[in-house]
Each structure stands twice: as structure tokens, then as C-alpha cells.
Amino acid sequence: MRPRHVKTGTLWFSLYLFLSLLPVFIVLLGPKPPGREFLVEFSVALGFMALAMMCLQFALTARFQWLKEPFGSDLVYSFHRSISLVSVGFVLLHPLLLSLTPVRPEVLIRLDVVNQPFYPRWGFGAALCLAALVITSLGRKRFHLAYEPWRRAHALFAIGAVLCGVLHVAVENHYFGMPLKGGLWISYTLLWVGLTLWVRLVKPWLEIRRPFVVESVRPERGTAWTLTLTPDGHRGFPFAPGQFGWLTLFASPFSDREHPFSFSGSAEAAPRLEFTIKELGDFTRGLHRVAPGTRAYVDGPFGAITADRHAHATGFVFVAGGIGITPMMSHLRSFADRGERRPLLLIYANTAWEDVTFREELAALEAALNLRVVHALGRPPREWSGETGFVTEDLLRRHVPPADAGHEYFVCGPPVMIRVVERALTRLGVRPGDIHAERFDLV
């Protein structure tokens, strides 16, 4: 990570901590209800932290490139998922700690879900929304929930959790009644409302004013399709190799039917965009029906997993599995257009030789670049003499340059492969900061 990105990343993380902890400090100011035990105040502090963190979650998912640039989208979404579980823990601790206080009428009322005053019911509603959000997110694949309905439900549960939490604080009124404390929660509420409007209204409106048109659709090996898009009535946008965009087809940006895909074309060909997408789900299985001239919308670019951030590198090593070749292909095509001469190594794992996407072009790029391609096949043909099976530490040891050679390493593929390769490279002496991976399977 560049020093500029380290400083910016430290600033954003410090701001996140400050905004998460600020409600706790504000709670400690001003008069408190008489006879309140420390445990009660501590439980309230945890509830406030959880509510502040839930509001800030909307900033993490609002796709502000300037916010994600120091970390990369992979790390931001991983943090989003982890901190969600932390905030749920704080929400659950809030009533649990209250139940441990000496028996008092006000505490008993708060734990009575049926005959309680109105304000605790909002807290109960927030807990239910959070429970639904976590269960459907962690169990999406186990429950076979389709991506698009799950994504809409995820947004509704998140909005419901924050709305119920804010109403819980507001109706209770003790922490909303004083100007300072009331102003704090009004500010957080406005932040949350503003971010929601930005994601659900402003960004789609901006996208719909900058449409793209499908120029061509061509089949690729491995049941994949390459869509070429050109901007319609605007200049488009530049991107760096390895970045991705959110693609909307067959719908308006307001429909929330968008999917993240890496750019597979050369960055030097921008604003012309290429996406190479494998048939894996309901959306991707319909790509062969896309006709030239179809209107499309792209929100991007996003992602920091790009060689352009590492001008100091003496060379690059790419490890790809299956359709994880797309960001690597964008790098190689961009390098070819730029006349790159640094040494490049691509280790590419597939099931069968016939499934190797871009097989012929990769052979041509070996001649055009200082590139060596190592194919690893799970079911190799009888005459195969190359690598077989999974990408293992032994395979990497046979091919990657020494750890002190000054190379940067990029990994993309199934999550299991990424974890194995990251651990193997670390054991081979590669610094974790030199290993870069982008995951699209965080949920």
C-alpha cells in the first residue's frame, strides 16, 4: 500500500472509530436518571454503539470510490460483514445486561415484550430485523435464496433495523430530550437518510443519464460470454486493469438488479468496456440472449486490486481459477497495449482443457509479452504433460520467483482457492502486503 493510501486509510478508520464511540461519550454528559446502576448505563452505551455502527454501515456500502480506494472493495466488504456481527452482539448484550441488574419495575417492564411501554417495542423490532438480516445473509446459499430477492430483502432489513433503533431512542426520550444528545441522534439519522437516498435515488438517477449500449456479444470457452459496451451520448469513464463495475441489463438502475463483474478488456481501450461472464446463475444464463443495441448501465469503476498501484514492482504473478481469469486478462491486455516488458507469470487452473477461457489469446500474449503461462488442469487429456490438480504450495514453489524478487501477486478465483494460495504464498516467504485478492463471494 502506498504511503498516501496508508495515511488516507488510517484517517478513514480513525473517523469510523470516532463516530462509533461518540454516542457513548455523549451519553455520559448531562444528568442521569436517579438510581441507575452502572450495568444499566453500560448496556445503554453498547446499544448506542450498535446503533451508530448500523448507521455507518450504509456509508460502507454506498460505493464511494474515494472511501474504498485505500483498502480495496474486498477489505471494505469483509469489514462490513464482520462489523455487522459485532453490532448484532452489542444489540443482544443490551437487554441481556439489563436482565442482570437488580429486580426493578422499569427493568422488568423493558423485558416484557407484550405488556411493555411502546418504546421498547421498537428495540425489539430492531433486534428482529437484525436477526433476519444475519440469518438470511449467512445462510443465503444454504437456504438457496436467489441473489436479487435476497439483496432487496437485505436492504429492507437493514433499513428496518436502523429505523426501529432510532425510534427506540427517540420515543424513550431521555437520550433525545437534551439538545446535545438530541442533536447527535438527529445528525446520525440525517446521515443514514442521506446515504439511503444517495444509494436508492441519486446514484440510479446518475446512471440512467449515462447509459451504455451493447456493441457485441461473443461466446468464449468455458460457457462464458464477452459483452462489449460503448457509452451512449457521454464520454464513459476510465478504469485501471483489475477493477470492476456493477452491470445492469434488462432493467432500470432503480430496479436494483445489478451485478458486479470485473472488466476483462484493456484499460487502454476505455471508454469501451468488456465484461466476460460465465454462466452460473439465473442472470448469467440469459446473456446469450442479449442482442447488440441493448441498453445497459454500469456503475464504476471500483476496486484497488490493480497493478497500476505498484509501479515499483519488478514483475507480477497472477494466479487465477476458472472465470477468475477476467481481471488478469484485463491486466495482460493492458500490458500488451502499453508495451510492458517486466516479467509476468500466470498460473491458471481449470477443470478441463476445453474449458480454458481465452486459451488461444493467452498463447498469443505469451509471444507479445514477457509472459509465461502455466496451466493446471483437474481432468487433463491423456497426452497432457503440464501441471494437474489444484494450485498447491508445491506447484507454486515450482514456478513463482523467489520471495525477495520484488514481484506483486494477484489472486482471483473460488474462495477456497484464494485462501489456499494466500497461505501457500505466505509460507513461501511472500509478504502479505504483496498479495492482493478480490472476492465477489462474501455472502
3-state secondary structure 103-137: CCHHHHHHHCCCCCCHHHHHHHHHHHHHHHHHHHH
Asked if 227 and 277 count as a contact pair (C-beta separation under 8 A), the reply is yes
Instruction: Choose one of 207, 229, 252: the last residue of a domain.
Output: 207
Domain identity same for 330 and 432: yes
Give residue 186's identity as a one-letter amino acid code. I
Whether 85 is covered by a domain: the verdict is yes
pLDDT at 238: 96
Domain identity same for 193 and 237: no
pLDDT bin (cut points 50, 70, 90) of residue 104 is very low
pLDDT at 121: 75
Give residue 303's identity as a one-letter amino acid code. G
Domain identity same for 55 and 195: yes
Whether 421 is covered by a domain: the verdict is yes
pLDDT at 93: 85
Does the pLDDT of residue 411 top 50, yes or no?
Answer: yes
Q: Are strands 407-412 and 435-437 parallel, antiparallel or unpaired?
A: parallel
Give the range among 25-29, 76-80, 238-242, 344-348 with minimum mean pLDDT: 25-29
pLDDT at 13: 87
Asked if 220 and 264 count as a contact pair (C-beta separation under 8 A), the reply is no
Element at 287 (helix H, strand E):
none
Q: Are strands 244-249 and 295-302 parallel, antiparallel or unpaired?
A: antiparallel
Structural domain count of the chain: 3
| Closest-CA residue to 182 (of 261, 201, 174, 147) | 174
Percent of the chain with pLDDT over 70: 89
pLDDT at 2: 54
pLDDT at 114: 55
Q: List, as own/partner pairs, every contact residues 120-126 make where C-beta atoms lie below 8 angstroms and the sequence separation is at least 24, other chains included.
A: 120/168, 122/164, 122/165, 122/167, 122/168, 122/171, 123/47, 123/94, 123/95, 123/164, 123/165, 123/168, 125/160, 125/164, 125/168, 126/91, 126/160, 126/161, 126/162, 126/164, 126/165, 126/168
Whether 133 is covered by a domain: the verdict is yes
Asked if 59 and 195 count as a contact pair (C-beta separation under 8 A), the reply is yes
- CA 303 vs. chain centroid, Å, equals 9
What three-state secondary structure class fits 375? strand
pLDDT at 65: 80
Domain that residue 245 falls in? 212-302
Percent of the chain with pLDDT over 90: 47
C-alpha separations of 386 from 347, 353, 383 in Å: 11, 11, 9
CATH of the domain at 387: 3.40.50.80
Whether 442 is covered by a domain: the verdict is no
Residue 87: CB atoms within 10 Å: 24
| Closest-CA residue to 273 (of 241, 230, 242) | 230
pLDDT at 58: 87
pLDDT at 372: 97
Asked if 236 and 302 count as a contact pair (C-beta separation under 8 A), the reply is no
Per the listing, cell 438470511 goes with 136
pLDDT bin (cut points 50, 70, 90) of residue 43 is confident
Give the range among 164-168, 317-321, 363-367, 427-431 with minimum mean pLDDT: 164-168
Does the pLDDT of residue 32 top 70, yes or no?
Answer: no
Domain identity same for 177 and 200: yes
What three-state secondary structure class fits 388? strand
Domain identity same for 199 and 237: no
Give residue 82's identity as a one-letter amino acid code. S
Whether 443 is covered by a domain: the verdict is no
Average pLDDT (410-422) is 94
Measure the CA–CA gap between 89 and 91, rounded to whole angstroms: 5
Domain identity same for 75 and 203: yes
pLDDT at 218: 94
Residues with Cβ within 8 Å of 319's Cβ and at least 6 positions away in sequence, in order, are 346, 347, 349, 391, 396, 409, 410, 411, 412, 413, 421
Average pLDDT (227-251) is 95
Residue 381: CB atoms within 10 Å: 9
Whether 69 is covered by a domain: the verdict is yes
pLDDT at 331: 98
> What nine digits make up the cell of 184?
447527535
C-alpha separations of 208 from 83, 87, 126, 186, 275 in Å: 32, 35, 34, 32, 19
The tens digit of pLDDT for each residue in 321-359 reads 999 999 999 999 999 999 999 999 999 999 999 999 999
Does the pLDDT of residue 42 top 90, yes or no?
Answer: no
Whether 307 is covered by a domain: the verdict is no
Domain identity same for 275 and 323: no
pLDDT bin (cut points 50, 70, 90) of residue 209 is very high
pLDDT bin (cut points 50, 70, 90) of residue 285 is confident
Q: What value does the CA radius of gyration of the chain take, rounded to a whole number of Å?
A: 25
128-142, 270-284, 381-395, range with greatest mean pLDDT: 381-395
pLDDT at 344: 98
Instruction: Choose one of 271, 302, 333: the last residue of a domain.
Output: 302
pLDDT bin (cut points 50, 70, 90) of residue 143 is confident
| Closest-CA residue to 239 (of 213, 207, 271) | 271
pLDDT at 263: 97
pLDDT bin (cut points 50, 70, 90) of residue 117 is low
Does the pLDDT of residue 134 top 90, yes or no?
Answer: no
Does the pLDDT of residue 84 top 90, yes or no?
Answer: no
Phi and psi at residue 13, in whole multiples of 5°? -70, -40
Per the listing, cell 474515494 goes with 66
Domain identity same for 73 and 189: yes
Whether 236 is covered by a domain: the verdict is yes
Measure the CA–CA gap between 150 and 129, rounded to whole angstroms: 14
